[in-house]
Amino acid sequence: MSDVILEAKGHNGQLELTDSVLRIKRKGALAFLTQGIKGDKEIQISQISSIQFKKAYLLVNGYMQVAFVGGQEAKGGILQGAGDENTVMFRASQQPAFDTLRDELQKRINAPKPRPNQSSGIEDLENLASLRDRGIISEGDFQKKKIGTLEVGRVAAAVAGTAFLATLIPVEEVRGAGVLLLFAFCAFILRPLTRDRFLLSLIAAAFLSAPSFMIYGTERAPDPAVIERERRYAESFKKYQAEHPAPPKPAATATPNAATIPGLQSGDVTASFAARGYDCDGMQLMSAGASWTCTKGQGLRFEMVGGGPTRIEYLTLSAMNMTTEEARRELQFLATVDFHGGSSEMASEWVAANIRKGAITTFGDVEFRLVVEGSNSVRTLSIASSQSRYFQ
């Protein structure tokens, strides 16, 4: 045919491409066996959505399949493609023609669609002036049509401007936007009747739109959907507050307990003993507070007692059946415990000086007692506040 741009002959059919149509033709014995007696099929290029293309090899045929709006293509590859009415198979020797047709078809599918002609008001006026100059219409007809064209533009501008203003108004005020749109529309429609007197047209538009303003200004019944939405929000907020209560207000600072060792915390003490190789138990609750115990071998036992982790009242370490040097090192370690008002260096020197005889002293407001029993077989260092009940 004269309108054919490209043609590709395949194994069970032929493809013909025109400016606007892809034509599938079935000729030959194989086409009759796979497709039966079918006429030519034409598919508008604008309706084609995709192209599936399988290359041919020496012993395997290729195929080209088109999918279009409203059509059903085979999904089983070359096995089902042989009987698909939208598929044409080809040999390796026939593939170059199909490659060319496919590329051209894809180019036409991807080409931008032409837009319908939309004449502007200026083009309409130019066409009217041309008709007047050629004598087809009179001067009076030209003036009438000119006024009509200009007024259509004014109305379009009014509607577009009002629509823009409506986008700036909250959703709850859409009714107000509708009243504003009616007012602007009336104003521009009335301008020709008021001989383009802008103020007079606004007054007339306000008069016509007054009922709408009155209806909008009256008190409206609450929207049930809005009430329900606010109720759900309130319930969700209450649930969130219940699951995430506000932190309690800080209590007034209490006067430190005079019986506790200031600045001492159980976690720091047990961690230091554990790092030295002691086996420390967790906190044990008692009727009067809590206790902690650490041991090392058969001869070292450390105990700590207090009203809580930050209210330590009493520390004691016993070294049993150890040499004087071994006992001194362990008791010096306890003496260097860090608390407010203490002096680690002075406490360590005090233990070394009294390791054989025992003694009592104070550092700050904390009392140290070193006791030696049984011909130096047991040495115990105890530390507590000078006001602690443990030293009464």
Task: Quick: pLDDT tens for 92-150.
Answer: 999 999 999 999 999 998 887 665 554 555 677 777 787 778 777 778 777 777 666 65
User: ∠ CA 19-24-29 to the nearest 5 degrees?
Assistant: 150
In angstroms, what is the C-alpha Rg of the chain?
50
Task: Kindly state whether residues 86 and 142 are assigned to the same domain.
Answer: no
* 168: amino acid identity, one letter: L
Indicate the average pLDDT of the chain.
Answer: 75
Task: Kindly state whether residues 384 and 276 are assigned to the same domain.
Answer: yes
> Considering the domain boundaries, does residue 277 fall inside one?
yes
pTM, entire model: 0.37
Would you state the pLDDT for residue 178? 57
Residue 147 main-chain phi, psi, to 5 deg: -60, -40
What integer is the mean pLDDT of 49-71? 84
Task: Kindly state whether residues 90 and 47 are assigned to the same domain.
Answer: yes
- Between residues 304 and 229, the one the model is more confident about: 304
Would you state the pLDDT for residue 174? 45
> Considering the domain boundaries, does residue 237 fall inside one?
no
For residue 34, the domain's CATH number is 2.30.29.30
DSSP 177-208: HHHHHHHHHHHHHHTTTTTT-HHHHHHHHHHH
> Considering the domain boundaries, does residue 254 fall inside one?
no
Task: Kindly state whether residues 296 and 386 are assigned to the same domain.
Answer: yes
Task: Quick: pLDDT tens for 265-290.
Answer: 888 999 999 999 999 988 888 777 88
The number of distinct structural domains making up the chain is 3
Task: Quick: pLDDT tens for 288-315.
Answer: 788 899 999 888 999 999 888 888 989 9
Task: Kindly state whether residues 274 and 372 are assigned to the same domain.
Answer: yes
As given in the structure block, the two tokens for residue 25 are 């033709």
Task: Kindly state whether residues 284 and 369 are assigned to the same domain.
Answer: yes
Task: Kindly state whether residues 155 and 106 are assigned to the same domain.
Answer: no
> Residue 69 sits in which domain range?
6-110
- Between residues 160 and 218, the one the model is more confident about: 160
Task: Kindly state whether residues 284 and 182 are assigned to the same domain.
Answer: no
% residues pLDDT > 70 (the chain)? 65
Sheet containing strand 14-17, edge to edge, reads: 6-9, 14-17, 21-25, 41-44
Quick check: helix, strand or coil at residue 111?
coil
Neighbours of 75 (CB within 10 A): 9
Q: Name, in order, each residue with C-beta under 8 angstroms of 220's C-beta and a sequence gap of 6 or more.
A: none
Burial of 381 (0-12, 13-18, 19+ CB in 10 A): buried
> Considering the domain boundaries, does residue 58 fall inside one?
yes
Residue 28 main-chain phi, psi, to 5 deg: 105, 165
> Considering the domain boundaries, does residue 239 fall inside one?
no
> Considering the domain boundaries, does residue 86 fall inside one?
yes
Task: Kindly state whether residues 90 and 128 are assigned to the same domain.
Answer: no
Task: Kindly state whether residues 302 and 362 are assigned to the same domain.
Answer: yes
The span from the CA of 93 to the CA of 336, in Å, is 96
> Considering the domain boundaries, does residue 386 fall inside one?
yes
Domain end, chosen from 216, 250, 283, is at 216
Closest CA to 53 of 67, 68, 63, 38: 63
The span from the CA of 200 to the CA of 2, in Å, is 66
Strand partners, 285: 290
Neighbours of 389 (CB within 10 A): 11
> Considering the domain boundaries, does residue 355 fall inside one?
yes
Task: Kindly state whether residues 128 and 103 are assigned to the same domain.
Answer: no
Closest CA to 16 of 64, 76, 75, 78: 64
- Between residues 95 and 180, the one the model is more confident about: 95
The span from the CA of 89 to the CA of 178, in Å, is 61
Query: Is the pLDDT assigned to residue 215 strictly greater than 50?
Result: no
| Integer CA distances (angstroms), 174 to 165, 178, 181, 214, in order | 11, 6, 11, 15
Would you state the pLDDT for residue 329? 92
Domain end, chosen from 182, 216, 250, is at 216
Domain end, chosen from 110, 138, 172, is at 110
First vs last C-alpha separation in the chain: 123
Task: Kindly state whether residues 103 and 174 are assigned to the same domain.
Answer: no
The answer to whether 380 touches 370, Cβ cutoff 8 Å, is yes
The span from the CA of 166 to the CA of 173, in Å, is 9
